A = this chain, B = another copy of it.
Amino acid sequence: MSKIDFDETLTSFDEVVRRPSTGSRRFGSDDPLRVPAMHDVIYPAVPFPSARIFREAGEAAIRRLVHDQHERLRDSPVGALFPADEQRFRAAVERSEDFFVEMLGGPDVFTSTRGQPALRERHFPVSITEADRLTWLDCLAQAMVESGFPASCHEELWNWVEPLSIRMINRRTTMYAVERLPFADYPRFRKGIHHD
């Protein structure tokens, strides 16, 4: 696979679908149409978190956070993506806990036994849409706020998982760019606002 040359004409599906229609095109003429090359999602850079989160929150709070997120995921529209069998569900949650513990600065409890994260590849067997990502993120945000995860760690954690989660999307359902959810604008993190 040779390196792709990006030229100035490379547009995104998002731009194409937002562009005002230029009227009907005539197909099958003797001067036929050439539709230019396009790209779809640009997966933004992912700033991994520092060890500060592990130091400030501690292992127990990280495990509780992931556990609580998964209790919410189970009852959410993406619940069917997780194992129905209780033992297999618990094993999946524990793997996810291990992943978070290590990524946030704790001991090497994930990569030493399971290898590099390669999260996009690991998720290919399951169809994950843009909406599934939003659900996953919101279950995490709920758990962050309601499980007593230190508020001092919310922004750094979110700034990692928000772009990271875009890489799990493997089933596109729209021409539009994937939605970004900046920490400062996410309703669950706004103080003094109550949500159910």
Contact = CB atoms under 8 A, between A and B. Distances in A.
Given A42-B37, A43-B38, A15 B29 contact: no
A51 B52 CA distance: 65
Interface stretch (A6-14, A67-75, A135-143): A6-14
Given A33-B48, A48-B33, A175-B121, A15 B3 contact: yes
Given A28-B102, A124-B172, A42 B4 contact: yes
Interface in A21-43: 21, 24-25, 27-43
Interface residues of A, number: 61
A20 B64 CA distance: 36
B121 A17 contact: yes
A116 B24 contact: yes
A111 interface: yes
A17 B121 CA distance: 9
B116 A25 contact: yes
A116 to B, nearest CB: 7
13 contacts: A1-B14, A4-B42, A13-B43, A24-B116, A25-B116, A27-B102, A27-B103, A27-B105, A28-B50, A28-B105, A30-B52, A37-B44, A127-B127
Given A37-B45, A40-B40, 19 more contacts: A1-B12, A10-B42, A21-B116, A24-B111, A27-B111, A28-B48, A28-B51, A28-B104, A29-B51, A30-B52, A32-B49, A34-B45, A34-B47, A36-B45, A38-B42, A39-B42, A39-B43, A40-B41, A124-B173
